[in-house]
Amino acid sequence: MEELLERLLEECRPFTGKGRVADYIPELAKGDPDALGIYVIGSEGKHAWAGDCRRPFTIQSVVKPILLLQALLDNGAEFVTRRVGVEATGKPFDAINAGDQALDSGNINPMVNMGAIVMCSLIYGRSYDERFQRLLELTRRLAGDGEIGVDEAVYRSEKSHGSKNRALAYLLKFHGLLEDDVEEVLDCYFRACSIQADCRALAHIGAVLSNRGRLPASNERVFPAAMSRYVNAVLMTCGMYDGSGEFALRVGVPAKSGVGGGIMAVVPTRMGIGIFGPALDRKGNSVAGIRLLERLSQELYLSIF
């Protein structure tokens, strides 16, 4: 497997030159556009990797399936679905879904910013600090790494340049989809996006989702299998922003990307995959990362279709 990953990584490395690092968050603009790494954890517990797979980065929107899991664990699927819909928007992840009609839960899903902001408000806790700590603990458990924390520099950069997310949050508030204090909810969201991880952590998260809620090494259950089906289905239709349809054709597995360059992919019953490639396309997805996943899917027949 490692020989295959090394070969595919070198084949796909030139694609890093076809994208650009995110620059609307100043700290992300410091990323290395040439970086590329991959880590795979199979259902039998075997690990394989190549490239810059242990280089840390902030997970950004890859936190959204974890937010969804925490909301499901705290509230159940029926309640969450009433508050945050599951239909693909067909719009960019930070689109302002405003029109002549009132905004409702059917206009958003858990993998776009508006949906993720609402999910922060669904986490149980006496304060938003407590809510975030519970989310962080779940992230650590899913990632198999108790040392995972927040990149404080990215968090401060996100918070000081988060005008569009504030606009989205106040729009949610105006339409009655957000009840709590906007700044408290956003602080939780900015911290969540600034959680720092690496490809191994993302592969481990993907392996848990692949294993229907069980940890890959111990087989200990973290969440019910039904929640794994829920999250994987939403990832399949919405996880790669407004490029999800093309990704389904090219790669064919549930996945979530983030503007930090990460991609967490789930091959049900087979493996979890973590990728890092900060050079992004116009939709906010890693250019070389998607190409690498496409080639791996072709080589190993990973597509679920």
Our answer to whether residue 241 is catalytic in this structure is yes
Please identify which of the residues 40, 253, 259, 266 carries the catalytic annotation: 259
pLDDT at res. 167 = 93
Regarding whether 73 and 178 lie in a shared domain, the answer is yes
Give yes or no: 112 in active site.
no
Distance CA 84, CA 167 (A): 18
Q: Is 164 a catalytic residue?
A: no
In a domain, 305, yes or no: no
244 is a catalytic site residue:
no
**Of residues 39, 63, 64, 234, which has the active-site annotation?**
64
Domain that holds residue 33: 2-60+197-300
Same domain, 45 and 144: no
Q: Residue 63: which of 302, 259, 293, 300 has the closest Cα?
A: 259
Give the pLDDT of residue 91. Answer: 65
* pLDDT score, position 179: 92
How many domains, in total, are found in the chain?
2
Q: What is the pLDDT of residue 165?
A: 94
Confidence of residue 107 (pLDDT cuts 50, 70, 90): confident
CATH code of residue 146: 3.40.710.10
DSSP string, the chain: -HHHHHHHHHHHGGGGGG-B---SSTTGGGS-TT--EEEEEETTS-EEEEESTT--EE-GGGGHHHHHHHHHHHH-HHHHHHHS--S--SS-TT-----SSPP-GGG--TTSHHHHHHHHHHS--SSHHHHHHHHHHHHHHHHT-TT--B-HHHHHHHHHT-HHHHHHHHHHHHTTS--S-HHHHHHHHHHHHTBEE-HHHHHHHHHHHHTTTB-TTT--BSS-HHHHHHHHHHHHHHTTGGGHHHHHHHT-S-EEE-TTSEEEEEETTTEEEEEE---B-TTS-BHHHHHHHHHHHHHHT----
189 assigned to active site: yes
Check whether residue 203 and residue 55 sit in a common domain: yes
Among 193, 215, 239, give the residue marking a domain's end: 193
66/40 same-domain check: no
Question: How far is residue 136's CA from residue 234's CA, in Å, rounded to a whole number?
Answer: 21
pLDDT band of residue 97 (cuts 50, 70, 90) is low
Same domain? 162 vs 68: yes
Mark whether 96 and 189 lie in a shared domain: yes
| CA nearest neighbour of 304 among 243, 241, 229, 242 | 229
Is there a single domain that holds both residue 68 and residue 162? yes
Tokens of 154: 């990215």
**231 and 181 share a domain?**
no
Check residue 55 and give its pLDDT.
96
pLDDT digits (tens, 9 = 90+) for 219-261: 999 999 999 999 999 999 999 988 899 999 999 999 999 999 9
